[in-house]
Amino acid sequence: MHACFSHRRAQGFTLVEIIVASAILIVLLSGIIYLIDPVKTIYRFRNYRRLRDMTTMANAINAYHSDKNTWPSIDEKKSTWQLLGTGTQCDVACGDGNFVSFANNTQQYIDAGGEEPDSDFDFDSNEKFSFSLWVALPPPLSLIQGFNGLLSKFSNDRGYFIFTAPRLVTVSPINIQYTLSFVVTSGPNEYQIYSAPLARSVNFVPFRNIVISYDGTLPQTSRAKIFIDGVSITPTLVGQGTVGTILNQSSLTIAKGMVYSGGAMDGPNAVQGSMDDIRIYQGLLDQSAATAIAAGGNPPSTPEYTLLSHYTFDDSFGATVDDAAGSHPGKIINLGSSAWIPSRYSATNKIGGMRTQPECIDLSNDLIPDYVSRIPFDPTAKTEDGKSMFAVNRAGNSISVRACTPDSEGPGGSGTPPNLEASQ
């Protein structure tokens, strides 16, 4: 018997089929990963753990207060947050503050005083003095707008002032930016104007830091240095005559505009924008000082300069603004409470204004072990880059704990970090 067998080879997938199937799988997996977002999930979990720990910390502090009828070393000051850490390791700003918004009105400003001849602010043209300001200015809309008198002590054609003016960068497309200028003058034909370009802010974020350092012992052509966001900008100079004494009997004003012999000029010479954290120094701020201020810190201690006044604007609205460094509280002239805008500042998240460095405390030294053991982590622990992780605030019998460096929960971990805060 002869049998005939038919053999058929099993067919595999073609290359095209494999490619199509792989593409489908990639799309499906991408969709699943997008929905799950493992990075975002990890960040959310870490923030949830932070919030849980912060609540535990607040409960432990409250328990300590209930049992001991006293608080640990937490100052009760409105809007004051204290970092948990030790010594100089508290190096990240974590808290709420304010900046001041001005509406281009010469009748609304801050008067820092200094009318008396021996005022700390009555610098002469042969002295050394410096200023640091944080400003946020909207884009100038034309070449006749954008004049902002930021700071001035000027009368009878004598004094000094800082202002911005619009400058045309390109014609097509039209691009108008700012020129920042510092002026010292002792008369109509005796003045020096030191100028540098200042890029505009975008929607008032971020604030730009301006440092001006004036050395009256040098030749007039090289007396002023200008730093923008910590970067040294060689100023251009327009001058006439020899500047003599600039002493005058006027107040030092913030955001009022320049005052000429003909009186205060209305309109664009007042500030249209926002200002924050203004510092006035006797002596010369150098590159290291400008770098430190632009990074949100304080300049190194040195005999080369002395801080005379520091207006943080972080105090609540009232009749005056506190001088955190000296004895020159500023008078608030015609500015309502709505001009004080809440701000939040951290080392990586500049949103509206600056925040003065909070005080550093170590709760583990104030809470006896029974209470420290209730906190399931080291409250003074630092992040990998050495930043403080938590801050505390007390108002009456209420304790709040804030995370200084939360993870962002935006797409892939980008975006603005959430404001994590637990209160008890």
Domain chopping of the chain, boundaries:
39-92+358-423, 100-339
Dmax (CA) of the chain: 132
SS3 85: coil
Residues 89-134 pLDDT 10s: 444 455 556 788 888 888 889 998 766 555 778 899 999 999 999 9
For residue 151, give the nearest of 143, 160, 142 by alpha carbon. 160
Q: Give me the pLDDT at residue 78, please.
A: 42
Assign 392 a pLDDT band (cuts: 50, 70, 90): confident
Residues 7-38 pLDDT 10s: 555 566 677 777 777 778 877 776 666 565 66
For residue 284, give the nearest of 240, 236, 208, 222 by alpha carbon. 222
The overall pTM is greater than 0.75: no
Q: Give me the pLDDT at residue 250, please.
A: 85
Residue 314 pLDDT greater than 90, yes or no: no
How far from chain centre, in Å, is Cα 213?
A: 20
Residue 284 pLDDT greater than 80, yes or no: yes
CA distance 382 to 173: 48
Instruction: Name 295's Cβ contacts closer than 8 Å, sequence gap at least 6.
Output: 230, 347
Q: In what order do the strands lie in the sheet with 82-84?
A: 360-361, 82-84, 390-395, 398-403, 421-423
Fold of 100-339: Jelly Rolls (2.60.120)
Instruction: Name 79's Cβ contacts closer than 8 Å, sequence gap at least 6.
Output: 95, 96, 97, 98, 314, 315, 316
Q: Residue 183 half-sphere exposure, CB side, CA atoms within 13 Å?
A: 32
Residue 382 pLDDT greater than 80, yes or no: no
CA distance 392 to 284: 36
For the chain, the first-to-last Cα distance in angstroms comes to 97
For residue 37, give the nearest of 383, 404, 414 by alpha carbon. 414
Helical ranges in 326-399 per DSSP H: 363-366, 369-372
Q: Give me the pLDDT at residue 172, please.
A: 74
Instruction: Name 90's Cβ contacts closer than 8 Å, sequence gap at least 6.
Output: 83, 84, 357, 358, 359, 360, 388
pLDDT average, residue stretch 286-311? 89
Q: Give me the pLDDT at residue 224, please.
A: 96
187 phi and psi angles, rounded to 5 deg: 170, 170
Instruction: Name 242's Cβ contacts closer than 8 Å, sequence gap at least 6.
Output: 190, 220
For residue 311, give the nearest of 344, 262, 353, 349 by alpha carbon. 353
What is the 3-class SS of 285-297, one letter each residue? CCHHHHHHHHCCC
| Lowest mean pLDDT, pick from 45-49, 141-145, 227-231, 352-356 | 352-356
Mean pLDDT, all residues of the chain: 76
Beta strands 253-254; 148-155: pairing state: antiparallel
Residue 273 pLDDT greater than 90, yes or no: no
Contact assessment for residue 271 and residue 255, using Cβ atoms and an 8 Å cutoff: yes
Assign 88 a pLDDT band (cuts: 50, 70, 90): very low
Q: Give me the pLDDT at residue 355, please.
A: 44
Beta strands 320-321; 330-333: pairing state: antiparallel
Assign 424 a pLDDT band (cuts: 50, 70, 90): low
| Lowest mean pLDDT, pick from 27-31, 122-126, 174-178, 185-189 | 27-31
Residue 271 pLDDT greater than 70, yes or no: yes
